[in-house]
Chain A
Amino acid sequence: MTLKLALSGIRGRLRNLIVLLAGLVVSIAIFYMFQTMAWNTAFITHNAMINSIQLVYAMGSFLLAAVTLFYVIYAGGFLFSLRQREYGMYMTIGARRSRVRTVMLLEWLVIGGAAIVIGMALGCGLALLVSSLLANMLDTTFSGYRALYGPAVLFTVVFYVALLAVTALWSQLKLGRMRLLQLLRAGDSAERPARAGRGAFWGGLLGLGALLIGYIALTFMEQLREIGLLAATVMTPLGTYLLFMTWLPRLVRRAGRSDRRLAGIRAFTNGQLAFRVRDLSRMLATTALLVALGTGAIAGGIAFLNDAYLKARQSGQYDIVLENPDPQQLELLRAVTFEERHELRVKREDAVAWVARADLEAMLAHTPPVLEDGTVLEEALPGGQQAITWTSHPQWRQLLSGVLPASALGADEIRLADNSYFGAIGTAATTVWFGRSDDFLAYTDIWGELESGRTAYHWSKYDQYQDNLGLAGGTVFMGFFLGVAFLTMMASCLMFKILSGASTDARRYALLRKLGVRGERMRASIRRELGYLFLLPGAAGLLHVLVGMNLFAFILQQPYYRLWLPLLMFAVIYGLYYLVTVWMYNRLALPAPVSGDVPHTRQTGGGTRYPGGSMSRN
C-alpha cells in the first residue's frame, strides 16, 4: 500500500519529476566528469601551466561539493513543495505520519537511484565525448586522461548516496516538525516584506567598500602578490553578499515604486520581484560569485590557448625551413602566400660551412631579416671571406643557426663565398628554402605535412607551436570542465530554488485569472520576473569576470583576448536554464487552461489540478 502510494505520487507528477530527475542526472554527470580529473593527479600535474594546480583542484572539488549539496537540498525542497498538500491530505484521511514518511522516502529513493544510474552512464559518455572532441579540436591527445576512471566512479557514487541520504533525512525532519495545518496551507506566507532600516544603508556602503577593495586587489595582483590574493578572495565575496542582501532589495523596491507606468500587470510583477529578491538575496549573491568563477575558469583556459596562438604570431622564427625541397613539397608551398621567401646555398668543406654570399645579399635587399627574438638584424654582412663567429657577429650567427642545413652542423666556422669561389668548392651544395607567410596560423596543416618526414635537428616554429598548444590544451580542458561544472550546478540551484516557490504563486495567479488577467500577460509577467532574477546575478558575475581576468595578466600576454567566446558560452548555458525555468514555472504556477476556453464541450475531466483553481475551496 505504501509503495503504491509512492508510485502513484510519482506517476501523478511525472513531468515535474522528470525535470527534477534530469537536474539530478546532469549534476551527477558533471560532478563525475570533474572527478575524473580531480583524482587523476598524474594527468593534472603533467598538463598544468600553473604550479599550484593541485590546490586549484582541491578547492574546486570542495566548492563543487558544497554547491552540489545545496543543489540537492534545493531539489529535495522542490520535491517537498510539490507534495506538501498531498502529504497533508494523506494525513487528514488518517495515514500515520510514519507512513507518510515512508512514502516520501521511497519516492526519493526511486528518483535518487534512477538518477545515480543514469547520471553515471551519462557522465562517462560525456567525459569521453568532451575529451575526444577537445583533443580533436586542439590537435593533441590528453595522454593519461581516462573517461571511465575507477576512483572517480567510486567517489561520485559514495558522495551522492550520502547526499541523497542527508537530504532525505532533512525533509523527514522538516515533515516531522510541520503541523498538519501548515502542510495543508503550504505556502500561505505570513511574512510581510521587511522595511529596510538604517542598518541596511550602512551595510550596503560597507559592501561597496569591500567590493572596491576586492576589485583593486584583482587589478593590481602583480604588485600586491599574496596580500592581493587574500584581499581579492575575501573582499569580493563579502562585498557581493553585503550588496545583494542590503541594497539590492531596496533598489528593486524603489525602482518598482517609482515606475511611473504602474499600470497593467507591472504593479503585480514589481511586487513579486521585491518579495522575491529579498527572499533570494543570498542565493543570488552565491550565483553571482559562482557564475564569475565558472566563466572565469573557462575564460582562463581559453586565454591560455590564445596565448599559444599569440606566441606563434609574434615569434620571429621563419614559418618554414626546408632542405632541398622535393617537387612534392614545392607543390604544397604553392598554396601559401609568402611575405618573404629565401633560398640559401650551403657547402660543407672539412670544418668550414660555406654560405653563398649572393643569397645573403638577396635576403638583405628585400628587408633586413627579423631575428628569432623579434628584433631586426642591424649588423652589416662581414666583407671578404671573413668567418661569421659567435663573438664577432652574434646577430648573423643567430639568424643563420635557425636556417643552416644539417650538413653544416658541427662546423667550426661559417664563411661567406662569392659565386665563383662557391662554385669551385668540390662538395655537393644543400639548398635551404625558408620563408615567412602572411599568417602562420592559417597554414598549420601545411606546415605539419611539410615537416612530417623530417628528422628534427632544430626546433622549428611549428614544433614550438605544437608544444605550446599541448600545454594550453590541458589547461583549456581543465578550465572548461571546471567552468561548466560550476555554471550548470549553480544555474540548476537557482532554477530549483525559484521553482520551489512556484506552487505558492499558483494561488496568486489563480486570483489574477479571476480578476480577468489574460494568460499571455501572466506569462509575460513571469518572464520579466524570472528574467530579473537571472539577470541580476548574471550581470554581477560578469562584472567580476571582467575585472577578475586581470588576475592572469602576470602569466598571459592578453588575458582579455577573445573573452567573448567564454562569455558567449556562459550566455548560452545560462540562457537555456532561464528558458527551462520559465517553462517549468508556467506549468507549475499558472492555472490550467479553463474549460471556459472552449464553450459547450465535455472537456472538464476529473478534478482541478491546481489548488485554488475554482472559486473557493469548499
Chain B
Amino acid sequence: MNVSMIEAQNVTKHYHSGRGQIIQVLGGITFTMQAGEFVGIMGPSGSGKTTLLNVIATLDAPSTGAIRIAGTDITTLNARQSADFRARRLGFIFQDYNLLDNLTIDDNIALPLALQHAPAAEVKARVARLMTEFGIASLAGRYPVELSGGQKQRAAAARAVIHKPALLLGDEPTGALDSHNAAVLLEILTHLNREGASILMVTHDAVTASSCNRILYMRDGMLSRELRRTGTRQQFYREILALLGEQDMNVGTAAALREAHP
C-alpha cells in the first residue's frame, strides 16, 4: 500500500535580516515520503536541512507552501493544535540527546506517554519493554548524567517511539556518537523501520545515510538530487559516497569559477 506520510508542496522559508534584507533559506521544496519509508536528508552545512526538519516538525512555520503529514495539513494548525500534533504523531531524536537532567531515565522515556495521561501501569510496562529492547534495562532509576553518550541516545530513541508516533524525526542523531554506538543506534532505527515506522533524519555521514532507503540531497535551500536504494547497503554506501564526491566537486568548481570571474 502506498500511503503518503509527508507531502510537501513548494515549501519556502525566509528570514528578515536586521538590515531589512530577506534571507531565503528554503527556496521551494516539493517532495513526498511514503509511510514506512526511511529517508535521509543530506547536504552541506547551511543548506537548510535543520530548517526543513523544523518546518516539518511544526516547530517553525513555512513562509509559503503546504505540508501534509499523515493526512493533516500542518500549516493551518494553531499553537495548541500543533503542540498536540507533535505530542501524538511525532517523535524526535536530537544530536545532543536532550534528556531532562532532573528526571530519571525511566521517567524521561515515559514522558511522552505520561503527557497524554496514559494509565500508569501501561506506561510502566512499555518503558520496561523498550528499555530491554534497546539494551538499557540495567540503567533503570539512573539519571542522565550517570550515562554514556550512547546510552543516552538509546534512551532518547526509546522516548521518541514510546507513544508510537506516525513519524520519527532525527537531526543528526548519530552526530555525537562514536562508530560503535552509532551502529547500535542505526540497528535500532532499522529495526523500527522494518516494523513499520516512518523515519526522516538529517545526517552528514555516509555510513549513517546508507541505512536509509532513500536520500534527499539539499543545496542552497533546494532539493538538488535524490538517491534510491536498490541493492545492498554496501552498494548504497558507495553510491552515496559518489554523490557526495560529485557534489563536493560541484561546490569546488563553483567556488573556483566565482574566484576567476567575480
Give the B-binding residues of A (Cβ under 8 A): 188-193, 260, 262-265, 267-268, 271-272, 274-275, 507-508, 511, 513-520, 593-602, 604-606, 614-618
Contact = CB atoms under 8 A, between A and B. Distances in A.
Contacts of B62: 599-600
B81 to A, nearest CB: 9
Interface string B1-25: 0000000000001111110000000
- Majority secondary structure, A binding face: loop
Contacts, number: 148
Contact of B61 (A264, A274, A596, A605): A596
Contacts of A263: 114-118, 120
Contact of B171 (A189, A518, A600, A616): A616
Contacts of A599: 61-62, 75-77
A514 B110 CA distance: 15
List the 7 closest A-B pairs by CB distance, nearest first.
Answer: A516-B87, A516-B86, A192-B143, A263-B117, A275-B102, A596-B61, A597-B79
A516 B114 contact: no
Contact of A600 (B45, B63, B87): B63
A600 B102 contact: no
10 contacts: A191-B145, A262-B120, A275-B102, A514-B98, A594-B60, A597-B61, A602-B63, A605-B16, A606-B18, A615-B59
A276 B120 CA distance: 25
A516 B88 contact: yes
B190 interface: no
Contacts of A272: 102
Contacts of A265: 115
B54 interface: yes
Contacts of A520: 80
Contacts of B76: 599
A84 B237 CA distance: 43
Interface in B55-113: 57-64, 75-80, 82-88, 90, 92, 94-96, 98, 100-103, 107, 110-112
A616 B103 contact: no
B90 A600 contact: no
Nearest to A613: B59
Contacts of B142: 192
A594 B111 contact: no
A600 B94 contact: no
Contact of A596 (B60, B90, B117): B60
Given A193-B143, A599-B61, A267 B103 contact: yes
B50 interface: yes
A511 B76 CA distance: 23
- Majority secondary structure, B binding face: mixed
A193 B102 contact: yes
Contacts of B61: 594-601, 604
Interface centre among A189, A192, A516, A594 (most CB of B within 10 A): A516
Interface centre among B50, B92, B98 (most CB of A within 10 A): B98
A596 B111 contact: no
B172 interface: yes
Contacts of B123: 262
Contact of A518 (B53, B80, B116, B143): B80
B98 A516 contact: no
Nearest to A265: B115
B246 interface: no
Contacts of B112: 515-516
Interface residues of B, number: 58
B205 interface: no
Contacts of B84: 516, 518
B187 interface: no
Interface of B: 13-18, 45, 50, 53-54, 57-64, 75-80, 82-88, 90, 92, 94-96, 98, 100-103, 107, 110-112, 114-118, 120, 123, 142-143, 145-146, 171-172
A192 B15 CA distance: 40
A268 B103 contact: yes
Contacts of A595: 60-61
B114 A616 contact: no
A602 B16 contact: yes
Contacts of B172: 616, 618
B69 to A, nearest CB: 13
A541 B76 CA distance: 51
B59 A189 contact: no
Contact of B50 (A275, A507, A600, A614): A614
Nearest to B89: A516
A604 B15 contact: yes
Contact of A616 (B14, B50, B85, B146): B50
Contacts of A606: 15-18
Given A193-B143, A615-B54, A517 B64 contact: no
Contacts of A271: 100, 102-103, 107
A130 B49 CA distance: 62
A394 to B, nearest CB: 78
B145 A615 contact: no
Contacts of B114: 262-264, 267
B77 A511 contact: no
B171 to A, nearest CB: 5
A605 B21 CA distance: 11
A513 B83 contact: yes
A182 to B, nearest CB: 15
Contacts of A517: 83, 87, 115
Given A508-B100, A515-B87, A618 B60 contact: no
B110 A267 contact: yes
Given A508-B100, A596-B82, A604-B15, A264 B64 contact: no
A502 B171 CA distance: 26
A596 B78 CA distance: 7
Contacts of B63: 600, 602, 604
A518 B83 CA distance: 5
B78 A515 contact: no
Contacts of A514: 57, 59, 86, 92, 98
A616 B95 contact: yes
Contact of B64 (A189, A267, A600, A618): A600
A518 B87 CA distance: 9
Contacts of B45: 618
A188 B17 CA distance: 30
A548 to B, nearest CB: 36
A294 to B, nearest CB: 32
A529 to B, nearest CB: 11
B63 to A, nearest CB: 7
A260 B94 CA distance: 30
Contacts of B100: 268, 271, 508, 511
Given A515-B92, A598-B61, 19 more contacts: A190-B145, A192-B101, A192-B143, A264-B115, A274-B102, A515-B87, A515-B112, A516-B87, A517-B83, A519-B79, A597-B78, A599-B77, A601-B61, A604-B16, A604-B60, A606-B17, A614-B54, A614-B59, A616-B96
B127 to A, nearest CB: 11
B86 A515 contact: yes
A267 B53 CA distance: 28
B111 A615 contact: no
B95 to A, nearest CB: 5
Contacts of A511: 98, 100
B86 to A, nearest CB: 3
A595 B59 CA distance: 8
A617 B45 CA distance: 12
Contacts of B94: 615-616
B87 to A, nearest CB: 3
Given A264-B117, A515-B112, A616-B172, A596 B58 contact: yes
A282 to B, nearest CB: 19
